[in-house]
Chains A and B, each alone.
Chain A
Amino acid sequence: MVFNEVMSLPILELRHVVKKYRVGKEVVTALDDVDLSVQAGEFVAILGTSGSGKTTLLNVAAGLEKPTRGDVIFRGTVLNKLKERQKVVFRRKQMGFIFQSYNLLPTMTAQENVALPLIFDGVPVRERLKRAVAVLTIMGLKERRMHKPMEMSGGQQQRVSIARALVHNPRIIFADELTGNLDSHTTNDIMRNLKETICGQGQTLIMVTHDHDVAKFADRIIFMVDGKIVSEERGGHKNE
């Protein structure tokens, strides 16, 4: 499926993207003329200090926020020109999200949380649970599938959240500080696990982090300072 993708054609492209926030009378420029091109199957890390605009970049790239200027092109479609109704279809079918604070629904079990995106896609309940358990198994949480988030460690919760991002087999995954709340041992485990799974499926991953060690898992590292991309580094592989 995704293997057939022509590698030279970017899956995601940001062109002269500017994002400004108005805070009272002041205007904060969170993204300042960002150009970025991500190939299908690529694992890109965005590295920068707190407040450098990483989260904003991710949200704009995923179509969750509109850029003040510039375009975001996802597989040939200008995302920022779409209506919410159309963007939600992209998110539901082709995008996965992982957050620093897991963002699981506290009332649902692990497998229900993982199956949640499939509900909105109208997948029948049996099929939903089957797929949820399959992804949970990959993330090593098969035994914990009936647990609620509160009954799991941070690492386990983040694995559930990763499983939820992968359950509908998205083309691209956006991850924001996914290891921010984890210790280094768990971080390494999870990163290895995630990278393996994604590589196996040829999926694209854009990951935001302020941690150099985590960034080293990526194929390419992009450095951000004050809303600008200042440099990038290829193949700093830490994964073998």
Chain B
Amino acid sequence: MKSFDLLTLANRNLWRRKGRTFLTVLGVIIGTTAIVVMLSLGIGLVESQKKQMEQWGSLNMIRVQQSYSFPGEPSDNPQRLLNDEAIEEIRAIEGVLALSPAYEVGGEAKLGRKMGYFSLIGIDPAMMDLLEFEVSHGRLLTGDDKFNVVAGSWVINNFMDPKEQPGRWDEPPPQGDPLELLNKRVSLTLMNQRQQKRVYSLNVVGILSDTSMEHAHSVFGPLPEIKKMRDFIQQGMQNDPMIPPGKAMEMSGSTADRVVEVPTQPGRSSGREKDQYSFALVRTEDVAFTRAISTDLRERGFNAYSMADNLAGIENAARQMQAVLGGIGAITLLVAAIGITNTMVMSIYERTREIAIMKVVGASFGDIRTLFLAESSLIGLMGGSIGIGLSYLLSYILNKYLGAAMAPGMGQDGVALQISMIPAWLVLFAVAFSIGIGLISGIYPANRAIKLDPITAMRNG
């Protein structure tokens, strides 16, 4: 029997009992829709959480912080120093796409008449692009830059005109325009342990876009220059050699009116500290790597943090929710499967005579079996396809009304929060699954049809 004839025959048989076939298909539609919509909610949950987290920091980034061990304080983990050796070790880990060590210094800064605090981070200019730095205005750093810097979008809010009346306490401070910094000179005053001061004149060549909040409060400069600044700050610490004065950039003799805090300093101990970076930024190939690598780094004794670390918890919760929702859907589909079996068995009773005739005129067991399986699979296919259409509709409605209602502020750039997402794999899975359900539901009826004895059937006819 040719497969086309088979399908035609199966299709015709189905539509002989339109009402009953429709109800059976309806069962599959409901089952498929239930599963797809339920799973889409779980997927939507994870995805929207991911998006939300990505606003605070990329899921492909790991920050490795220099850990501080204080003398006398027992620590379980061997603390690793974040030095060049460590950087090379991290760079060699599989899945690490880019890496830059960083020095961090801080000091008093002046922008025209405004005063403020500057957290200046030195990183490798060549790595900025890969480390997901992005400018909204101006440009990123290049290898030629020395005293050029790029500033985060929030840095401007650190500056205040001391002569201006401060706003009322219950009013939020006015939001500064980041462009106020662009192409401006900022003078940064650093002070070391010996109360010596040094003033640097920095030029802001770029403003970082605010897609990622993690860099918003810092200013970034080229690593070699920032290292020199840090070396200056460390002068006067125990075991620190003096840096020859001739190398100093610009000296200010004025009296120290404020003590600049140096955040990079653990404050104590060995001379090895001067080889240590403040932290390192690691860019991984994808989220999966991020999690593995950040766990790996912690095991190696580094302090590693990543947004992706939080993802595991969210995903676990989502998976549990998906299991419950999917379970409900699965039960619905199981009921639909029983419906298909029931319909097919009924149809055997109705078609006893017909099956008998087919057998007598030459239908083999295989023909009868495939005919019945084709009919039940068709029910599955129809139910599955319509179910997916319905799922898309429901998903659209859920996103449009419920999604908007649940998180009115969440919709960024006019895009409403997606609480339900139907990826392509889910569509394929649902169609395959419903056909499979149809096929399995047809096995028992098909075997009954095969066993049917044509002679008995026709004698009774």
Contact A85 B365 (CB under 8 A): yes
Could you say which of B356, B362, B455, B459 contacts A121, with CB atoms under 8 Å apart? B362
Find chain B residues with CB under 8 A from A159 CB.
none
- In the complex, A122 has a CB within 8 A of chain B: yes
User: Are A64 and B362 neighbours in the complex by a CB distance under 8 Å?
Assistant: no
Interface pair B360/A91, CB less than 8 Å apart: yes
B415 within 8 A of A: no
Encode A106-127 as 1/0 by CB contact (under 8 A) with B.
0100000000110111101100
Contact in complex: B455, A120 (CB < 8 Å): no
Determine whether A169 belongs to the interface, using a CB cutoff of 8 Å to chain B: no
Query: Does B390 interact with chain A (Cβ within 8 Å)?
Result: no
Q: How far is B362's CA from A182's CA once the two chains are assembled, in angstroms?
A: 27
Q: B132-150 interface mask toward A, CB cutoff 8 Å, 1 = contact, 0 = none? A: 0000000000000000000
Contact A65 B365 (CB under 8 A): no
Interface footprint category on B: 20 to 34
Q: Flag whether B16 is at the interface (Cβ < 8 A).
A: yes
Q: How far is the CA of A105 from the CA of B353 in the complex (A)?
A: 9
**Is A120 a contact partner of B363 (Cβ separation < 8 A)?**
yes
A117 CA to B364 CA, complexed, in Å? 11
Q: Mark B360-381, 1 if CB is under 8 A from A, else 0.
A: 1111110100000000000000
Asked whether any CB of chain B lies closer than 8 Å to the CB of A59, the reply is yes
Residues of B within 8 A of A91 (CB): 360-362
User: Could you name 30 residue pairs across A and B whose Cβ atoms are closer than 8 Å?
Assistant: A64-B454, A84-B365, A85-B364, A85-B365, A88-B362, A91-B361, A91-B362, A92-B361, A92-B362, A92-B364, A97-B360, A99-B458, A101-B458, A103-B353, A103-B356, A103-B360, A103-B458, A105-B357, A107-B13, A117-B361, A117-B362, A119-B5, A120-B358, A120-B362, A120-B367, A121-B362, A122-B2, A124-B2, A164-B361, A168-B362
A105 touches B5 (CB 8 A): no
**Smallest Cβ distance from B353 to chain A, in angstroms?**
7
Please state if B365 and A105 are interface contacts (CB–CB under 8 Å): no
Contact A125 B5 (CB under 8 A): yes
Q: Which residues of B contact A103 (CB under 8 A)?
A: 353, 356-357, 360, 458, 461
Cβ–Cβ contact B361 & A64, under 8 A? no
Nearest-neighbour CB distance to chain A for B9, whole angstroms, equals: 7
Would you call B12 an interface residue if the criterion is a C-beta within 8 Å of the partner chain's C-beta atoms? yes
Q: Which of B9, B12, B364 has the most CB of A within 10 A?
A: B364
- Cα(A65)–Cα(B456), bound, Å: 10
Q: Which of A59, A85, A92, A104 contacts B455 (CB 8 A)?
A: A59
By beta carbon, the residue of chain A nearest B12 is: A107
- B92 CB within 8 Å of chain A: no
Docked pose: A121 CA to B360 CA in angstroms: 13
Chain A residues within an 8 Å CB radius of B364 = 85, 88, 92, 120
Q: Which residue of A lies closest to B6 (CB)?
A: A119
- The 8 A CB mask of B436-461 against A (1 = contact, 0 = none) is 00000000000000000011001101
CA distance A59 to B457 in the complex (A): 13
The reply on B129 being an interface residue by CB < 8 A is no
A85-B368 Cα distance, complex, nearest whole Å = 12
Q: Which residues of B contact A93 (CB under 8 A)?
A: 362
The residue of chain B having its C-beta at the shortest distance from the C-beta of A93 within the complex is B362
Which of B5, B459, B461 has the most C-beta atoms of chain A within 10 angstroms of its own C-beta? Answer: B5
In contact, A88 and B363 (Cβ under 8 angstroms): yes
Set A59, A117, A119: member contacting B9, Cβ < 8 A: A119
B424 within 8 A of A: no
Complex Cα distance, B299 from A190, in Å, reads 94
Contact of B1 among A55, A107, A119 (CB under 8 A): A119
Contact assessment for B16 and A107 in the assembled complex, using a CB-CB cutoff below 8 Å: yes
Question: Which residues between 73 and 109 of chain A lie within 8 Å of chain B, taking CB atoms?
Answer: 84-85, 88, 91-93, 97, 99, 101, 103-105, 107
> Are A64 and B455 in contact (CB-based, < 8 A)?
yes
Complex: chain B residue closest to A101, CB-CB? B461
Chain A nearest CB from B11 CB (Å) reads 12
Closest chain-B Cβ to A127's Cβ sits at a distance in Å of 12
Which residue of chain B is the closest to A107 with respect to CB atoms? B16
Query: Is B354 at the interface (CB under 8 A from chain A)?
Result: yes
Q: Is the CB of B16 within 8 A of A120?
A: no
* Pair A64/B354 contact, Cβ less than 8 Å: no
Interface string of B1-35 (1 = CB under 8 A from A): 11001000100110010000000000000000000
Q: Are A65 and B358 in contact (CB under 8 A)?
A: no
Q: How distant is the Cα of A122 from the Cα of B354 in the complex, in angstroms?
A: 19
* Contact present for A64 and B360 (CB under 8 Å): yes
Task: Please measure, in the bound complex, the distance between the C-alpha atom of A84 and the C-alpha atom of B360, giving whole angstroms.
Answer: 11
Mark A215-237 against chain B: 1 for CB-CB distance below 8 A, else 0.
Answer: 00000000000000000000000
Which residue, of B358, B362, B364, has the highest number of chain A Cβ atoms within 10 A? B362
Quick one: given A119-B9, A125-B5, are A97 and B361 in contact (CB under 8 Å)? Answer: yes
Q: B346-360: which have CB < 8 Å to A?
A: 353-354, 356-360
Residue of A with least CB distance to B367: A120
Nearest chain-A residue to B454 (Cβ)?
A: A64
In whole angstroms, what is the CA distance A124 to B4 when docked?
A: 10
Give 9 closest A-B pairs by Cβ, nearest first: A92-B362, A117-B361, A120-B362, A88-B364, A120-B363, A103-B357, A117-B362, A119-B5, A91-B362
A121 partner residues in chain B, CB cutoff 8 A: 362
Q: Chain B residues near A119 (CB, 8 Å)?
A: 1-2, 5, 9
